[in-house]
């Protein structure tokens, strides 16, 4: 993946996507913990992740609910949320929230041990085998009829898993205010999966629930994973009997408390107030994850984001510029009420690169601007448009369709007795226009470094005399 430099996938995960994905994933994980909270076993709980399947599974087995498990789970969940609230209000006691999960596990285990609650509906972890995973390198089969299907499946699932892992990483990067390198994330996840496959490990990507627990416990760096790995190794070697009586409902409460802190309602409200399309992206990611899966949520959110970019490129904004009195500055007339039109000169700014997706739209849009300007000039008893100045400062690039559009626009304006003028074109734009012979057709004398110089020249030719300063022409 890194050889292909596919880390750019992370760039498609916008802030709105992360907010929706984070809320949806947290909701799904919380729903999955209902199995432990209500004391349901695996045989009576769905393996699907969507909210419909989970809720159907929960409420179709009401007769199997264990009130003891519900009471115990709600009690521990309340204690965990209370500890987090206390730590936020009193930052000096941050360790209270960090130690709360371990304290709950110890209390739960002691409670179950002395009350024999496992005999009354409280599910426990039970017996755990001691020791580390055995090596599995000799068990790998790299030949045979199933090799190619395994490779194809591995590539597809690998891309999906890496996208999810990057999404999880970027979620917490947003909280901690640091940058995430998609390629390095892919290297890390891929390398550990390769090493894990040699030691009988379960292959995975960045786990959302464990990362959330680490975050809520106050972990700051990746060193927490090293300490956690050492702790797990020591536990597997020496301490597994101590976890025999650990109730599963406590683990569910710990995960649920961590997930509830990741549902960012204020961020969603802020998106609605600032940008409705971003809110749609957020909502699409949330609904896709909750009603479908993590993969569907990411696909929906990224799809909406890409459609937004394509819509912006296909329908770029074109605005009329006017001269600010007593200056050589040109600004948008719909934004600056003091800006004034220059008689006989229409100044338009294109706020997007010119590609095949928007070339036809821009040509039609510019023609409509000219018609509107002529109609307004006739109503005011003024001279119509003689010069069309295109501000190309925001046009970062142009393709052959764009150069053809400018050439066709030039021909159309010639037939109407109008002159096209280009202002502030970039070096790449000039190269494309020169190589396509459009620059020669327009004429080098109609290319200007600024809008003000272009307007001064146009007004000079219109009056056959050049003013000293731009304010004289307004």
Q: What DSSP character marks residue 423? A: E
**Structural tokens at position 142:** 């790299």
Phi, psi (degrees; rounded to nearest 5) at 52: -65, -50
Give the pLDDT score at 121.
73
The per-residue pLDDT for 166 is 67
pLDDT confidence tier of residue 310, bands split at 50, 70 and 90: confident
Model pLDDT for residues 362-418, shown as the tens digit of each residue: 999 999 999 888 888 888 777 788 999 999 988 888 999 999 999 999 999 999 889
For the cut 80, the answer to whether the pLDDT of residue 7 exceeds it is: no
Distance, in Å, from the CA atom of 289 to the CA atom of 297, rounded to the nearest integer, reads 4
Give the closest residue to 305 by CA, choosing from 286, 288, 282, 289. 282
- Of 213, 216, 237, nearest to 29 by C-alpha is 213
Q: What percent of the chain has pLDDT over 70?
A: 85
Evaluate if residue 1 carries a pLDDT over 60: no
Predicted local distance difference test score (pLDDT) of residue 262: 75
- Domains of the chain with CATH codes: 6-310 (no CATH), 316-473 (3.30.750.24)
Phi/psi-derived region of residue 114, left when phi > 0, alpha when psi is between -120 and 50, beta in every other case: alpha
Q: Name the strands in the sheet holding 318-323, side by side, starting at the edge strand that comes first in the sequence.
A: 330-332, 318-323, 345-350, 387-391, 419-423, 447-448
Structure tokens at 52: 């419909």
Report the C-alpha gap between 439 and 446 in whole angstroms. Answer: 9
Provide the b/e sequence for 113-135 (b: ≥16 CB within 10 Å). Answer: eeeebbeebbbbbeeeeeeeeee
Q: What is this structure's pTM?
A: 0.66
Mean pLDDT for the stretch of residues 100-108: 89
The Cα–Cα gap between 183 and 191 comes to 12
Q: Give the distance between the most distant pair of CA atoms in the chain.
A: 103
Residues 286, 278: Cα–Cα separation, whole Å: 12
CA dist., res. 387 & res. 389, Å (int): 6
Q: Phi/psi of residue 111, each to 5°? A: -65, -45
On whether the CB atoms of residues 124 and 66 are closer than 8 A, the answer is no
Partnered with residue 349 across adjacent β-strands are: 319, 391
Residue 187 scores a pLDDT above 80: no
- Distance from C-alpha of 93 to C-alpha of 87, rounded to nearest angstrom: 5
């Amino acid at each position: 993946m890194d050889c292909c430099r596919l880390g750019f996938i992370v760039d498609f995960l916008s802030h709105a996507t992360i907010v929706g994905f984070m809320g949806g994933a947290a909701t799904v994980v919380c729903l999955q913990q209902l199995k432990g909270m209500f004391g349901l076993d695996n045989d009576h709980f769905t393996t699907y992740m969507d909210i419909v399947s989970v809720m159907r599974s929960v409420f179709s087995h009401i007769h199997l609910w264990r009130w003891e498990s519900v009471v115990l789970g709600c009690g521990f969940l309340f204690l965990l949320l209370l500890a987090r609230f206390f730590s936020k209000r009193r930052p000096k006691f941050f360790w209270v929230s960090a130690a709360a999960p371990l304290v709950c596990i110890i209390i739960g285990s002691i409670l179950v041990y002395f009350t024999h609650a496992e005999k009354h509906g409280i599910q426990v972890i039970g017996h755990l085998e001691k020791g580390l995973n055995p090596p599995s390198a000799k068990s790998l089969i790299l030949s045979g009829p199933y090799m190619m299907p395994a490779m194809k499946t591995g590539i597809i699932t690998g891309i999906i898993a890496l996208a999810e892992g990057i999404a999880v990483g970027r979620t917490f990067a947003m909280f901690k205010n640091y940058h995430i390198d998609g390629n390095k994330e892919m290297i890390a996840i891929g390398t550990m999966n390769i090493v894990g496959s040699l030691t009988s490990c379960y292959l995975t990507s960045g786990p959302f629930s464990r990362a959330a627990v680490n975050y809520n416990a106050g972990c700051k760096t990746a060193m927490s994973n090293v300490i956690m790995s050492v702790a797990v190794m020591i536990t597997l070697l020496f301490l597994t009997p101590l976890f025999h009586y650990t109730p599963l409902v406590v683990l569910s409460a710990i995960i649920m408390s961590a997930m509830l802190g990741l549902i960012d309602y204020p961020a969603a409200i802020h998106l609605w107030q600032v940008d409705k399309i971003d809110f749609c992206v957020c909502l699409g990611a949330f609904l896709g994850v909750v009603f479908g899966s993590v993969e569907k949520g990411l696909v929906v959110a990224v799809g909406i984001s890409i459609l937004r970019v394509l819509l912006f490129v296909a329908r770029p904004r074109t605005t009329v510029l006017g001269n600010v009195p007593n200056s050589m500055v040109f600004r948008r007339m719909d934004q600056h009420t003091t800006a004034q039109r220059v008689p006989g000169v229409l100044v338009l700014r294109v706020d997007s690169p010119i590609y095949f997706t928007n070339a036809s739209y821009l040509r039609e849009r510019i023609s409509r601007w000219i018609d509107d300007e002529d109609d307004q000039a006739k109503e005011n008893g003024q001279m119509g448009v003689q010069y069309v100045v295109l501000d190309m400062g925001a046009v970062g690039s142009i393709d052959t369709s764009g150069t053809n559009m400018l050439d066709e626009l030039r021909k159309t304006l010639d037939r109407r007795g109008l002159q096209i003028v280009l202002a502030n074109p970039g070096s790449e734009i000039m190269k494309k226009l020169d190589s396509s012979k459009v620059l020669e057709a327009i004429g080098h004398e109609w290319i200007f470094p600024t809008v003000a110089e272009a307007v001064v020249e146009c007004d000079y030719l219109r009056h056959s005399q050049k003013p000293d300063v731009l304010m004289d022409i307004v």
